[in-house]
Amino acid sequence: MTEIAVRFDIENALKILGITPVNHGTWTGSNSFGSGENISSISPVDGATIATVKTTTQNEYENVIKTASEAFKIWRKLPAPQRGEVVRQFGEKLREMKEPLGKLVSYEMGKSYQEGLGEVQEMIDICDFAVGLSRQLHGLTMHSERPGHRMYEQYHPLGIVGIISAFNFPVAVWAWNTAIAWVCGDVCVWKPSEKTPLCGIACQHIAATVLKANDLPEGISCLINGDYKVGEMLTHDKRVPLVSATGSIGMGKIVAQAVAARLGKSLLELGGNNAIIVTPDADIKMTVIGAVFGAVGTAGQRCTSTRRLIVHDSIYEKVKDALVKAYKQLQIGNPLNEKNHVGPLIDQKAVTDYQQALKKVVEEGGKLIVEGGVLRGNGYESGCYVKPAIAEAKPDFEIVQHETFAPVLYLLKYQGDVENAIQIQNGVVQGLSSAIMTNNLREAELFLSAEGSDCGIANVNIGTSGAEIGGAFGGEKETGGGRESGSDAWKFYMRRQTNTINYSTELPLAQGIKFNL
């Protein structure tokens, strides 16, 4: 696809999404603009400035919170199935906008167009899930020890949910939180990544259209733009009972401390250092497909990207040869060209981190079996395109203990039983996603047991990335312990209340306590 064709395609997509692709202000509700500093949205695809947005000032933030607070008073009164109907309509709008929004995600963030479409599909899927959930926000009933009493528990909306999302999934993670929060009766204030602000504006446009059509207040969905300083407004605000934050471990620790200091709730989705264990009973073909997509998909910029491949020494050379052969087939280039497997990294800092990781692994005694490097010249003018690399390493290398947000795969060897591989797998501070490739039932079940993977996600015969919305998504240890998306993750967006009703003519006390007047 030529540069001219790309620019025309993207500008057309922006217009469909309601965005004028020059000097577009930041929405703070659904129709007001920020007046703070400029943020330029620069595409890593070609280095072009797509648009400039304004950051949200402190005064504008105050207006946002007031708008959201007033909207909550109305939104919480709607029966949950009616809130689900609004989410259903939002999902339908996303179906209409899937192609242009997918293109914007691809162009602003740099992931392949197919992955951009897949991300919008995740938004649609979570809307479908939330619609069904809107009729299942159930509590429990229980027997009271006192005669003539009934006990039950129910869930009520929290209020304002603050959402801080990362650049790598610029729309899906917001939708995971928002669709669930909305059916729970909450309103949302979203700070998208300053690296992908237009995706946030596009989603706000779509949400505002649905809210207006239903004669609902704009404050149900609010947007603020800016860097960490704007994020701090959310994390320190007692009026925001829940902050859901996605990003690095360092960022998460700062958010957790700020929210905990005011006794608020934080839902954290932080770094991953994900591994696939490959046992002698593994299907090598399946292993290669899972490992390669896991390592190079989104140019290694998924929190669930495969960072480590832990291979039994008896099949190590066979797996290594198959990987090297597969990497030779990878096409790197413009992500809007569907022939390409790998797009660019998000920016120059990411490129520097990638280069430093490759340098570090060699300094520690590792060996590059698939050379990396930055691509230059025709089609790579942004300077953000790099070659996916594979390095033979050891589990205790310092660089292997860290998450590098780039397509760098560390090939590790283990000997003996699968317990040894599990020990290597668990020997990092992160605990997001994990996988084992084996046709041995005992190995698979051990991996999934309490003695096995210590991650929030553990897969058998699939890779570490590509989670479905039906399951709760999140990780343990320094990944933060949060859970978003499916299963019963909705409970975190509500406050729990235990109720006891006395329908007798007496007032007995619990535990048989006597108190006579």
Q: What is the pLDDT of residues 112-122, one digit of tens each?
A: 999 999 999 99
Average pLDDT for the chain = 94
- The answer to whether the beta carbons of residues 37 and 25 sit under 8 Å apart is no
- Give the pairing type, strands 149-157 and 141-143: antiparallel
Rounded to whole angstroms, the Cα distance separating 424 from 394 reads: 10
Radius of gyration of the chain (CA): 25
Rounded to whole angstroms, the Cα distance separating 434 from 457 reads: 6
pLDDT at 22 over 50: no
Model pLDDT, residue 10: 80
Residues 350-371 have a mean pLDDT of 98
The residue among 168, 164, 102, 116 whose CA lies nearest residue 345 is: 168
User: pLDDT class for 25, splitting at 50, 70, 90?
Assistant: very low
Rounded to whole angstroms, the Cα distance separating 87 from 446 reads: 40
User: pLDDT class for 14, splitting at 50, 70, 90?
Assistant: confident
What's this model's pTM, rounded to 2 decimal places?
0.95
Q: What is the pLDDT of residues 436-489, one digit of tens each?
A: 999 999 999 999 999 999 999 999 999 999 889 999 999 999 999 999 999 999
Q: What is the DSSP letter of 310?
A: E
User: pLDDT class for 26, splitting at 50, 70, 90?
Assistant: very low
User: pLDDT class for 365, splitting at 50, 70, 90?
Assistant: very high
Residue among 303, 384, 455, 484 flagged as catalytic = 303
- The answer to whether the beta carbons of residues 251 and 53 sit under 8 Å apart is no
Reduced 3-state DSSP string for 322-357: HHHHHHCCCCECCCCCCCCCECCCCCHHHHHHHHHH
Higher-confidence residue of 53 and 254: namely: 254
The residue among 280, 281, 343, 300 whose CA lies nearest residue 465 is: 300
Q: What is the pLDDT of residues 59-93, one digit of tens each?
A: 999 999 999 999 999 999 999 999 999 999 999 99
User: pLDDT class for 202, splitting at 50, 70, 90?
Assistant: very high
Structure tokens at 193: 């990544």
pLDDT at 142 over 60: yes
User: Which domains are assigned to the chain?
Assistant: 3-270+480-496 (3.40.605.10), 274-468 (3.40.309.10)
Of the listed ranges 8-17, 281-290, 429-438, 497-506, the least confidently predicted one is 8-17
Model pLDDT, residue 24: 33
Structure tokens at 277: 């264990």
Rounded to whole angstroms, the Cα distance separating 449 from 443 reads: 10
pLDDT at 429 over 80: yes
Model pLDDT, residue 2: 47
Residue 178, burial from CB neighbour count under 10 angstroms (0-12, 13-18, 19+) = buried
Residues 123-144 have a mean pLDDT of 97
Model pLDDT, residue 516: 84
Q: What are phi and psi of 8, to 5 degrees?
A: -65, -45
Rounded to whole angstroms, the Cα distance separating 425 from 430 reads: 10
User: pLDDT class for 348, splitting at 50, 70, 90?
Assistant: very high
441-448 and 418-425 helices, crossing angle to 10°: 30
Structure tokens at 391: 């390095």
Residues 297-314 have a mean pLDDT of 98
pLDDT at 36 over 80: yes
User: pLDDT class for 325, splitting at 50, 70, 90?
Assistant: very high
Model pLDDT, residue 243: 98
- Give the pairing type, strands 367-370 and 389-392: antiparallel
Model pLDDT, residue 6: 53
User: pLDDT class for 34, splitting at 50, 70, 90?
Assistant: low
Model pLDDT, residue 358: 98
Query: For the chain, how far is it from start to end, CA to CA, in angstroms?
Result: 87
Rounded to whole angstroms, the Cα distance separating 496 from 307 reads: 38
Model pLDDT, residue 11: 81
Alpha helix positions (H), 216-365: 228-235, 249-261, 284-296, 316-327, 348-363
Model pLDDT, residue 8: 58
Q: What are phi and psi of 414, to 5 degrees?
A: -130, 160
User: pLDDT class for 9, splitting at 50, 70, 90?
Assistant: confident
pLDDT at 435 over 70: yes
User: pLDDT class for 517, splitting at 50, 70, 90?
Assistant: confident
Entry field: residues in the chain: 517
Q: What is the pLDDT of residues 384-416, one digit of tens each?
A: 999 999 999 999 999 999 999 999 999 999 999
Is 203 an annotated catalytic residue? Answer: no
Query: Which pairs count as long-range contacts for 314-323, CB under 8 Å and 24+ apart, including other chains?
Result: 314/280, 315/278, 315/280, 315/282, 315/284, 316/413, 318/284, 319/278, 319/284, 319/287, 319/288, 320/369, 320/392, 320/411, 322/284, 322/287, 322/288, 323/288, 323/291, 323/292, 323/370, 323/390, 323/409, 323/411
Q: What is the pLDDT of residues 155-198, one digit of tens each?
A: 999 999 999 999 999 999 999 999 999 999 999 999 999 999 99
Q: What percent of the chain has pLDDT over 70?
A: 96
The residue among 134, 111, 154 whose CA lies nearest residue 293 is: 111
User: pLDDT class for 51, splitting at 50, 70, 90?
Assistant: confident
SS3 394: coil
pLDDT at 31 over 70: no
**Tokens 């996303």 identify what position?**
94
Q: What is the pLDDT of residues 210-221, one digit of tens each?
A: 999 999 999 999
Measured at the CA of 97, the angle between CA 162 and CA 302, to 5 degrees, comes to 55
**Which amino acid, one-letter code, is at 327?**
Y
Model pLDDT, residue 23: 37
Is 99 an annotated catalytic residue? Answer: no
Q: What is the DSSP letter of 508?
A: P
Measured at the CA of 405, the angle between CA 164 and CA 285, to 5 degrees, comes to 120
Rounded to whole angstroms, the Cα distance separating 129 from 90 reads: 13
Rounded to whole angstroms, the Cα distance separating 216 from 71 reads: 8
Residues 293-318 have a mean pLDDT of 98
Residue among 269, 403, 478, 484 flagged as catalytic = 269
Rounded to whole angstroms, the Cα distance separating 185 from 182 reads: 5
- The answer to whether the beta carbons of residues 443 and 436 sit under 8 Å apart is yes
